[in-house]
Copies of this chain bind each other. A is one copy, B any other.
Amino acid sequence: MDMKETFLRRTQIFDGHVVHLFVDDVRLPNGGTAQREIVTHAGGACVAALTARNELLLVRQFRYAFGEELLEIPAGKLERGEDPFEAMKREQREETGTRSDRYVSLGVTYPTVGYDDEKIYIWACRVTEPAGDQDLDPDEFLEVEKLDLWEAERMVMADQIRDGKTQIAILKTAALVRAGQL
């Protein structure tokens, strides 16, 4: 079955700092037409950084869209033309003051596929330079917390950690460590 939808016409609604919004007219597989509301986003990169004792570095941050503080792995939006791997290392350094000399790719996640083209690239690592200070943007407020990896996995399973990229990164990292691959 051909399920492809074909672009016909695009109307730009908004061109913001983070969100870009379009309404596209598309041709459906059955010959009809429909409109698709599409958010475009630069994408993001994040890292599950573990200490030698299997402690995961998390950042606690107020997320305005939810009115809640959330526990997340260090992450950030890609700058224009930025390589996701470089963006991830930058965010790790700025948010946690740590680096590593080896990273394992945990692949990509498409967070919300119905109306948004965002892709988030995920890595895991062992922290090799635990020293260093945070280097945050002036309007960035977050706290670093260490959490035992197995406790983090239990919290994901128990619905106590809700950020999607963090859920995926923790479950994949736990599987790798269990298999002796990280």
Contact = CB atoms under 8 A, between A and B. Distances in A.
Interface stretch (A81-89, A94-102, A138-146): A138-146
A166 to B, nearest CB: 9
A164 B168 contact: yes
Q: How many copies does the complex hold?
A: 2
Contacts of A41: 112, 115
Interface residues of A, number: 71
A177 interface: no
A62 B3 contact: yes
B62 A5 contact: yes
A110 B32 contact: no
Contacts of A159: 105-108
A145 to B, nearest CB: 12
Interface in A97-143: 105-118, 120, 138-139, 141-143
A52 interface: no
B38 A110 contact: no
Nearest to A19: B37
Contacts of A115: 18-19, 41, 65
Contacts of A117: 65-66
A170 to B, nearest CB: 10
B162 A164 contact: no
A29 to B, nearest CB: 5
A92 B108 CA distance: 26
A72 to B, nearest CB: 7
A62 B26 CA distance: 12
28 contacts: A3-B60, A3-B61, A13-B14, A13-B21, A17-B35, A18-B37, A19-B39, A28-B141, A29-B62, A32-B138, A32-B139, A34-B139, A36-B64, A39-B39, A39-B116, A41-B115, A63-B114, A65-B114, A70-B110, A77-B114, A106-B159, A108-B162, A111-B111, A112-B164, A157-B175, A168-B171, A171-B171, A171-B175
